[in-house]
Amino acid sequence: MEKGFARVVNQPKSSPTSSRPGPIDLQDLQMGLSTYFNDLPDPRVDRTKQHLLKDILVITILATIAGAVGWEDIENYGLSKQQWLEEFLELPNGIPSDDTFRRVFEKLDPKVLEQKLSQWLQQIMGSVLQEIIPIDGKSLRGSYDREKGLKNLHLVTAWASEQRLVLGQVKVEDHSNEITAIPALLKLIDISGAIITIDAMGTQTEIVRLIRHKKADYVVALKSNHPTLYHQVKDWFDTAKTQGFMGVEMSYDSRTEKGHHRVETRKVWAVSVAQLGGLYKQEKWAGLHTIVIVERVRHLWNKTTHEVQFYLSSLPVDAQLNGRAIRQHWGIENQVHWSLDVTFNEDKSRIRSLNSPQNFALVRRLALNALNQETTLQRSLRQKIKRAAMNNDYMMQILKCFCQG
């Protein structure tokens, strides 16, 4: 009886205290923050500068890591943590008001914050050799302003899937689309040796040429926006499959996964372009080497779905490698876009004036990076945010990742 009802001691989900590195030293923190923020150009006129730009930015970043979703939240965080913040920030006139935070982010050039993100990434990034980097777009649904005729902000983001880092973001300009934003994003980041994955919108000859020019590989979706090429590949696959791929040299991989009340089987065929006897305008697709076909069959509790998708790839004829790249492309949806919407409430944010939605979106992505890089607490992202809001030592642990990458 005693054994059956013995007291169970729950072990913490975080790493043992003895092996966990301590929080960053305050002097190191001050030096790190100065390195990143002291040289930022201030968009305000001198007579209105009652608060340091560095203090405003640091409080905003910390508040966002702690779950703030708007200017009043940021001010409340600053007021609640003022005594602690005074240990490493100057705060000559106390905590700025919510209007001050808003006005600064309205005027601040987004390219300035993007440069700071890049500077930080250079300190903490490992090699991107063979790293799969999905690129995808996301709309901030709450950033529209109907009275001023402003559409919601749309951003294109690059994500290092294995290192769990947002590498950069670019705004899709009005009356434009992702086709123009993706090249701008590619020019901002170092992708040498990486594998870039893009959905059908970015399957363009100029984008592929830029990827190859930057010494990276690509796997891009082929859909009906390239009708002649798409139907050529589809007709070949339908015929080859009917004939049991007789006489076709290829690489094949099949996997079955179970979970969330469904069973999914994925079959991947990788075939050399030469096996198709040449493709429509093949010479325009720089480095094109492999055609990849993915067939997915999903058995749900109430139905079965079937789909076949095609991809253009510069990778070798390797079904496992190409299949892994395609599979990891959706990590940007699950680990970035979903986290921003569900955990950071990005879609519900009504920050919308001037440069503020783009700047605050970048702060959210920076906060997501910082939380992902802190690995001593083995909890969900939401629990990390709550711990950072409640525990100054844990927030300092996150800042150590930011300042001493």
pLDDT digits over 44-79, tens only?
Answer: 888 778 999 989 999 999 999 999 999 999 999 999
- Structural domain boundaries of the chain? 18-109+355-403, 124-337
Full strand arrangement of the beta sheet holding 153-160:
165-171, 153-160, 132-140, 195-198, 217-222, 304-313, 290-299, 262-272, 250-259
Domain 124-337: CATH superfamily is Transposase Inhibitor Protein From Tn5; Chain A, domain 1 (3.90.350.10)
The phi, psi pair for 141, rounded to 5°, reads -65, -25
C-beta separation of 65 from 385 below 8 A: yes
Residue-averaged pLDDT of the chain: 85
Quick one: how far is CA 328 from the chain centroid? 12
Mean pLDDT, range 166-183, rounded to an integer: 80
- Enter the pTM of the model: 0.86
Quick one: how far is CA 16 from the chain centroid? 30
Per-residue model confidence (pLDDT) at position 391: 94
Rounded alpha-carbon distances, angstroms, from residue 115 to 37, 41, 160: 11, 12, 17
- Within 48-177, residue ranges assigned H as helices are 53-65, 71-80, 82-85, 98-107, 110-124
What gap in Å lies between CA 123 and CA 104, rounded to an integer?
27
Select from 203, 164, 161 the least CA-distant residue to 182. 203
- Residue range 221-278, pLDDT digits in tens: 999 999 999 999 999 999 999 999 998 999 999 998 887 788 889 999 999 999 998 8
- Which pLDDT band holds residue 312 (cuts at 50, 70, 90)? very high
Lowest mean pLDDT among 156-160, 273-277, 298-302: 298-302
Return the exposure string of 131-155: e unless at least 16 CB atoms fall within 10 Å of the residue's CB, then b. Answer: bbbbbbbbbbebbbeeeeeeeebbb
- Which pLDDT band holds residue 147 (cuts at 50, 70, 90)? low
C-beta separation of 156 from 220 below 8 A: no
Task: Look up residue 20 and give its amino acid.
Answer: R
Q: Is the predicted pLDDT of residue 349 greater than 60, yes or no?
A: yes
C-beta separation of 54 from 37 below 8 A: yes
Return the SS3 of 150. Answer: strand
- Within 2-52, residue ranges assigned H as helices are 26-37
- Which pLDDT band holds residue 27 (cuts at 50, 70, 90)? confident
Highest mean pLDDT among 22-31, 143-152, 280-289: 280-289
Rounded alpha-carbon distances, angstroms, from residue 29 to 40, 223, 396: 17, 49, 9
Per-residue model confidence (pLDDT) at position 137: 86
Please name every residue paired with 309 in a beta bridge, in sequence order, or none if there are none: 294
Q: Is the predicted pLDDT of residue 1 greater than 60, yes or no?
A: no
Per-residue model confidence (pLDDT) at position 322: 96
- Which pLDDT band holds residue 3 (cuts at 50, 70, 90)? very low
